[in-house]
């Protein structure tokens, strides 16, 4: 299994600068962010562009691959994590159109995987506070977008890897803005779109704070795990006591780097090997303890790499 870097934590580094640092420090793969150039941030770490898919040409793709090959690196996936089910039709159209460009860019680069979110719509007038009705409504919206997107990806020899992140903010409580965040919702997603190129970018950290068994999840969705985000999660017990489960982690879920939180990486890696996954652990850096400067971010990645290397080969 290879250890990689999710590039969002380096918004001010060029691709070549990032690749040089990653290669010099023993990383083997890069997960490259592909937000629209000049679009600005639409979430924490959103808006980062290490591959401008709108300007990508076969010659430019060849240059990128040659540069990475010289440094002994591969691209594990291209990443773009917006809300393709956004309730604003214009916004939805824009992000779906760009996601298609990311898929075409992946094909051009010879990259098999695009990581993204399903997204989520919300319509309080239609659904009120009825959870089941809200889910049914969202899956109706899902079917308007995703079957065609998945087929489009297959036509371009690309797999779609959906991250199991709720994308929960105070203005999207309680559902968040990414639909498949629990086993039941992931299962329903694959039941309605069973295509073989539709799978998961599995991230155990999002299951920790939801009190979901992340090891069982690996076994339950073994054949759908295309890519893995290595991110950890801690829980502030005092804030958890004060706010409880219904606080949805706004003050008590604490993103950490691997080895700094509650995820048992020995068990995660063992389970992944057990189900036949032997691709990448892509370190996603959202740990406030290792932010504030580029050098501190780099140190954080190296701390995480050292933790994961105990269990990988």
289: DSSP letter: G
Q: Are 15 and 3 in contact (CB under 8 A)?
A: no
Most confident of the following: 41-45, 241-245, 306-310: 306-310
Average pLDDT of the chain to the nearest whole number: 93
Cα dihedral sign for 91, 96, 101, 103?
positive
Structure confidence at residue 38 (pLDDT): 76
The residue with greater pLDDT, 81 or 121, is 81
Q: What is the 3-state secondary structure (H, E, C) of 64-92?
A: HHHHHHHCCCEEEEEECCCCCCCCCHHHH
Question: Is the predicted pLDDT of residue 124 greater than 70, yes or no?
Answer: no
pLDDT-derived band at 47, boundaries 50, 70, 90: confident
- CA angle, residues 220, 195, 111, in degrees to nearest 5: 95
pLDDT digits (tens, 9 = 90+) for 195-238: 999 999 999 999 999 999 999 999 999 999 999 999 999 999 99
CATH of domain 2-309: 3.20.20.150
- Which of 268, 261, 262 shows the shortest CA–CA distance to 310? 268
Whether 4 has a pLDDT exceeding 60, the answer reads: yes
Q: Is the pLDDT of residue 40 over 70?
A: no
pTM of the model: 0.95
- In which band, very low, low, confident or very high, does the pLDDT at 312 lie, cut at 50, 70 and 90? very high
In tens, the pLDDT along 252-309 reads 999 999 999 999 999 999 999 999 999 999 999 999 999 999 999 999 999 999 999 9
- Of 125 and 113, the one with more pLDDT: 113
Confidence (pLDDT) at 218? 98
Query: Has residue 83 got a pLDDT over 60?
Result: yes
In tens, the pLDDT along 156-168 reads: 999 999 999 988 6
> Does residue 9 carry a pLDDT above 60?
yes
The conformation of residue 36, written as its DSSP 8-state character, comes to: P
């Amino acid at each position: 299994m290879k250890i990689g870097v999710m590039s969002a934590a380096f918004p001010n580094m060029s691709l070549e600068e990032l690749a040089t640092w990653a290669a010099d420090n023993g990383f083997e793969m890069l997960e490259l962010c592909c937000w629209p150039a000049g679009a600005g941030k639409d979430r924490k770490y959103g808006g980062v562009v290490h591959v401008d898919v709108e300007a990508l040409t076969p010659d430019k793709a060849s240059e990128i691959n040659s540069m990475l090959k010289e440094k002994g690196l591969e691209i594990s996936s291209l990443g773009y994590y917006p809300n393709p089910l956004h309730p604003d039709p214009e916004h939805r159209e824009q992000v779906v159109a760009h996601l298609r460009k990311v898929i075409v860019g992946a094909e051009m680069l010879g990259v098999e995987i695009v990581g993204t979110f399903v997204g989520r719509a919300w319509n309080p007038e239609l659904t009120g506070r009825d959870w089941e009705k809200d889910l049914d409504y969202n899956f109706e919206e899902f079917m308007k977008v995703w079957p065609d997107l998945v087929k489009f990806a297959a036509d371009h020899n690309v797999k779609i890897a959906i991250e199991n992140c709720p994308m929960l903010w105070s203005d999207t409580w309680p559902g968040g803005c990414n639909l498949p965040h629990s086993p039941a919702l992931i299962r329903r997603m694959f039941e309605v779109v069973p295509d073989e190129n539709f799978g998961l970018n599995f991230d155990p950290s999002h299951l920790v704070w939801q009190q979901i068994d992340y090891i069982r999840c690996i076994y339950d969705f073994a054949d759908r795990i295309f890519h893995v985000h290595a991110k950890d999660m801690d829980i502030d017990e005092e804030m958890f006591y004060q706010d409880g489960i219904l606080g949805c982690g706004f003050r008590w879920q604490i993103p950490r780097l691997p080895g700094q939180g509650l995820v048992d990486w020995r068990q995660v890696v063992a389970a992944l090997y057990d189900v036949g996954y032997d691709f990448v652990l892509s370190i996603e850096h959202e740990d406030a303890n290792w932010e504030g400067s580029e050098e501190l971010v780099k140190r954080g990645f190296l701390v995480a790499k050292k933790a994961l290397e105990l269990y990988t080969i």
